[in-house]
Amino acid sequence: MLTSATETKYRLIIVGGGGNGRECAQIAQAMIAAGTASFTIAGFLDDNESALVGTSTAWPLLGSISAWQPAEDERFVIAVGNPQVRAKLADSYTARGAQFINLIHPTVILATNARLGTGISLSPFSVVSDNAAIDDHVHVNLHTAIGHDAVVGRASVLSSFCDVTGNVRLGERVLLGSHASIAPGLKVGDDALVGIGAVVVSGVKSGKRVFGNPARSLAL
Say what the pLDDT of residue 7 is: 56
Average pLDDT on 170-182 reads: 98
Examine the pLDDT at 187 and tell me if it is beyond 50.
yes
Examine the pLDDT at 55 and tell me if it is beyond 70.
yes
Of the candidates 114, 144, 106, the one whose C-alpha atom is nearest the C-alpha of residue 127 is: 144
Render pLDDT for 79-120 as a digit per residue (tens, 0 to 9).
999 999 999 999 999 999 999 999 999 999 999 999 999 999
Examine the pLDDT at 5 and tell me if it is beyond 60.
no
Residue ranges at the known binding site for substrate: 81
Render pLDDT for 60-87 as a digit per residue (tens, 0 to 9).
999 999 999 999 999 999 999 999 999 9
Average pLDDT on 179-191 reads: 98
d(CA 159, CA 175): 8
Q: Is 139 a catalytic residue?
A: no
Residue ranges at the known binding site: 81
Say what the pLDDT of residue 218 is: 80
| Residue 89, SS3 per DSSP | helix
Examine the pLDDT at 17 and tell me if it is beyond 80.
yes
pTM value surpassing 0.85: yes
Average pLDDT on 179-207 reads: 98
d(CA 168, CA 186): 5
Catalytic annotation, pick one of 139, 143, 148, 179: 148
d(CA 15, CA 28): 13
Render pLDDT for 133-143 as a digit per residue (tens, 0 to 9).
999 999 999 99
Distances from the Cα of 76 to the Cα of 32, 64, 83, 84, 200, angstroms: 16, 14, 17, 18, 33
Same topology, domains 10-101 and 102-209? Answer is: no
The per-residue b/e assignment along 8-17, b for 16 or more CB within 10 angstroms, e otherwise, is eebebbbbbb
Examine the pLDDT at 191 and tell me if it is beyond 70.
yes
d(CA 85, CA 90): 9
- pLDDT band at residue 220 under the 50/70/90 scheme: low
Which string of DSSP letters, residue by residue, matches 39-57? Answer: EEEEEEE-S-TTTTTT---
d(CA 45, CA 60): 9
Mean pLDDT, the chain, integer:
95
More confident residue, 220 or 139: 139
Fold of 10-101: Rossmann fold (3.40.50)
d(CA 162, CA 75): 28
Report, at the CATH architecture level, how domain 102-209 is classified.
3 Solenoid (2.160)
Average pLDDT on 7-16 reads: 89
Percent of residues, the chain, with pLDDT higher than 70: 95
Average pLDDT on 146-171 reads: 98
DSSP 8-state secondary structure symbol assigned to residue 100: B
Domain boundaries, the chain: 10-101, 102-209
